[in-house]
Amino acid sequence: MSGKEASSKEGRLISTLERLLELPAANLRQSLNQASDLLVDALGADKIDIFLFEASRNTLCALGTSKTPMGRLQRSIGLDIQPVANGGSIARVFTTGDPYITGHSDQEPGELPGLIHELGVRSHIAVRLVVEGERRGVVSAHSAAPEFFSDDDLRFLGAVAHWIGALTHRAELVEQVTSAALAQGRRQAAEELITVLAHDLRNYLSPLMGRLGMLHHRAELDGRVDDMRDADRAISSVARLGQLISDLLDVGRIEQGLFEIAPAPMNLAALARDIAAALGTPSVEIRVESPPELVVVADRDRLRQAQENLVSNAIKHSPPGTWVLIKLTSELIKGMEYAHVDIVDRGSGVPPEILPRIFDRFVTNGHASGIGLGLYLASRIAAAHGGTLAVSSPPGNGATFRLSLPASGPPVRRDEL
């Protein structure tokens, strides 16, 4: 190669890289399409593709394709999506990592027939695309002319592929940030709406509960047993609604940093027995294993709220005829005494895909009723006491939620969760 030709090749590379760096990273597909158009001009090719691998389908998808006649034809016949199992030169470059060049695709064994007969490809170069050190796809150039690409073109494509990898990473980061911002905005709007609705709903509950109490009293005076039973059920339903509203308001207080606790010495064992008596059902028994007394410094009302949420969750996921266990123990950890409250059920367990998010807001486990606040509130109540809430759930063997609390009370600073 003459000095003039070498200078021209170098200039082409530098010019292409400069234009790649100027591309906006607003959208991944748009960025890769623009990169393909730059490359098709630089190489004089009939088509440029930037394939990214989709692991869920074991497929290479051309997210970037040049706006050329061959590129548009490829999309129309579906060759922009290539399962790795179908083979062909592009799949081979992706799996082996080896660069590829041919001037006679029609003579290459194992090439996809569509590339040869439908698109009329004769010359083809391709290199693997790496993003942040990870194998992610293939950058490919095609021409209908035989012997069109040179070894210099292949090296040029390899050099440019590194910058396309950087562009891909940048565009993906922008999409992630944008998606996270949109999700955060939707979540904040939903939380504000829920808090406003909860405040308004609570204003109606007290008079409604009063009316139901009066109806129950009248039915009792008249000896109307059926009406008394219906009033009791209505009162119970309104009480559950009141607890849900309280949970919603507590979520708002947590997010605003207004959630407070009032620690004092209390007997965890007595609380566990009270909860078992209150929440046990004919179909699911609640058992308590505990020493007669286990005293901690904590907010009794908040711990009742946390444990009732945990026990209610266990009951919802327990088949009829089984039982839920509340087990209390104590342990010295690094010289500090901790109390453990284990809530054990015999259900199907927490699905593995939900387990990492089980204590997030509005995450529900399976098909059970509820809006996914109970476990979130229980975890925040534990944190407010300087404790933790953890879950163990071997597949198919139920779940154990462990609430651990320092017996001496929460840390001095109680204004932050």
Q: Which amino acid is at 142?
A: H
Q: What percent of the chain lies above the pLDDT cut of 70?
A: 83
Cα separations (Å) of 32 from 52, 63, 64, 167, 388?
A: 10, 7, 4, 8, 46
pLDDT digits (tens, 9 = 90+) for 154-184: 998 998 898 888 888 888 887 787 777 776 7
Q: How confident is the model at residue 212 (pLDDT cuts 50, 70, 90)?
A: confident
Q: State the number of CA atoms in the 13 A half-sphere of 307 facing the CB.
A: 32
Closest Cα to residue 121, out of 139, 107, 138, 137?
107
pLDDT of 410 higher than 50: yes
Q: Please report how the helices 374-384 and 225-256 are oriented relative to each other, as an axis angle in degrees rounded to 10.
A: 50
Which phi and psi (to 5°) does residue 225 adopt? -65, -45
- Write out the two tokens for 272: 């566990």
Round to whole Å and give the CA distance between 117 and 343. Answer: 66
Confidence check: pLDDT of 67 > 60: yes
Q: How many other C-beta atoms lie within 10 A of the C-beta of residue 76?
A: 10
Q: Tokens 């949420």 correspond to what residue? A: 309
d(CA 148, CA 44): 9
Among 28, 415, 361, which Cα is nearest to 184's?
361
Residue 213: the pLDDT is 86
Residues 315-351 have pLDDT tens digits of 988 888 899 999 999 998 888 899 999 999 988 888 8
Confidence of residue 6 (pLDDT cuts 50, 70, 90): very low
Q: Give dist(CA 410, CA 95) in Å, integer.
A: 55
Look at residue 4 and tell me whether its pLDDT is greater than 50. Answer: no
Residue closest to 153 by CA, chosen among 180, 193, 125:
125
pTM for the whole thing? 0.50
CA 70/CA 54 separation, integer angstroms = 24
Cα dist from 220 to 211, 212, 227, 234, whole Å: 14, 12, 8, 15
Per the listing, tokens 């509203």 go with 245
pLDDT in tens, 19-61: 766 666 667 888 888 889 989 988 999 999 999 999 989 999 9
